[in-house]
Copies of this chain bind each other. A is one copy, B any other.
Amino acid sequence: MSQKVIISLDAMGGAGAPDSVIAGANIARNHHHDLYYLFYGNDRILNDKISYFPNLIGNCEVFPTKDVVSDEEQPVKALRSGAESSMRKAIDAVKDGFASACVSAGNTGALMVMSKLVLKEITGIRRPAIIGIMPTQAGEGTVMLDLGANAVCDENNLFQFALMGDCFAKAVLGKQNPSIALLNVGVEQIKGRDIEKKTYDMLKRSSLNFVGYIEGHDLTKGEVDVVVTDGFSGNVVLKTAEGTVRFLMGLMKEGLTGNTLTKVGGLLVKKSIKKALSGVDPNKKNGAMFIGINGIVVKSHGSASAEGFANAISVAYDLVKRDVNKQIAKELDLMKDISSKFNIVDIIKEKSAKILGLK
């Protein structure tokens, strides 16, 4: 019998918790029979609700926690006051080796700050990032980072994001040599800000499969495996795409309930359209990883449905099975020489510029 995949769940985080967490855990376990859960939260409520899911009984443990990190809590404050929270205890379980991954639909900022403090950065990684898979027209989606951990970045951060994206795409999408693109406002080399140009140069000289710039309207085409950008732009892209999907789904619903004829037609196509769009529904397609730390922490959408939370658990499951962090450490080691060379080049440039009176 193969070993169980043990995942710790912050059962109190997110708008639908704990119901969507429990029901989601149940759905995910129907797909992956080797899943075993550690639920953290109000044990009385959890034990009661879990008793309705025969599939979960005997395949999970419930650990009582006293506290919940609210969505409004400032991350740093949550860090201080949330030592006994369901979120913190679920992360601790990863650090202590009881679980291989943690999933939470709670406060994103708090989850990041806590994960970083408890699990620490992978040696060599300066800035952990939020990474996720955007649904695309062709293929299984495009890996994108940073989705919001670092509003301001420098070219060294973006270079490391590319490196982590490469490992993630290898592990989760099973790509041999993932193609990597840098988000920009045009595809010509002179386009964009200073940071895009500098990162372009670094990536071009690296051994990564860098294919150049990509623009917003090409993100959903699925022509590249990884898209790299700073946390401000990444967050804006992710949320804009989500908002647009919700907007269009609403429009379509209206379009299908007009007169009697369209109502009849609507009934005939409803299921088929629903199916076609299920891959892009933000409530279902779900699960972003906080990458660059010593442990797997997956963030589910705060408003995810049970199906959505199940999706986040499945992402965590894949990351455990494919040992993504080991891959990152390995690749970092390979890149170490190249990375340090870049820094030296930059330092020399900087210094010469100063000596020459250019700065």
Contacts and interface: CB of A to CB of B under 8 A. Distances in A.
A233 interface: yes
A216 B240 contact: yes
A236 B239 contact: no
Contact of A262 (B188, B236, B269): B269
A216 B236 contact: yes
A322 B215 CA distance: 34
Interface in A232-250: 232-233, 235-248, 250
A68 to B, nearest CB: 19
Contact of A220 (B193, B243, B275): B243
Contact of A236 (B185, B275, B280): B185
A236 B183 contact: yes
B265 A246 contact: no
A217 interface: yes
A233 B234 CA distance: 10
A35 to B, nearest CB: 30
Contact of A269 (B221, B244, B255, B276): B255
A255 B275 contact: yes
Given A185-B235, A192-B151, A242-B217, A277 B265 contact: no
Copies, count:
2
Interface in A199-254: 215-221, 231-233, 235-248, 250-252, 254
A165 to B, nearest CB: 18
A251 B277 contact: yes
A193 B264 contact: no
Interface residues of A, number: 62
B262 A235 contact: no
B245 A185 contact: no
A255 B281 CA distance: 15
Given A151-B185, A277-B252, A216 B237 contact: yes
B233 A256 contact: no
A266 interface: yes
A358 interface: no
B215 A239 contact: yes
Interface in A172-205: 183, 185, 188, 190-194
A190 B334 CA distance: 38
Pick the most buried of A188, A190, A216, A261: most chain B CB atoms within 10 A of its CB. Answer: A216
Pick the most buried of A151, A185, A252: most chain B CB atoms within 10 A of its CB. Answer: A185
In the complex, the 6 A-B pairs of residues with the closest C-beta atoms, listed nearest first: A265-B268, A216-B239, A255-B276, A217-B243, A265-B269, A216-B240
Given A233-B233, A247-B280, 6 more contacts: A74-B190, A216-B239, A216-B240, A248-B280, A251-B279, A256-B273
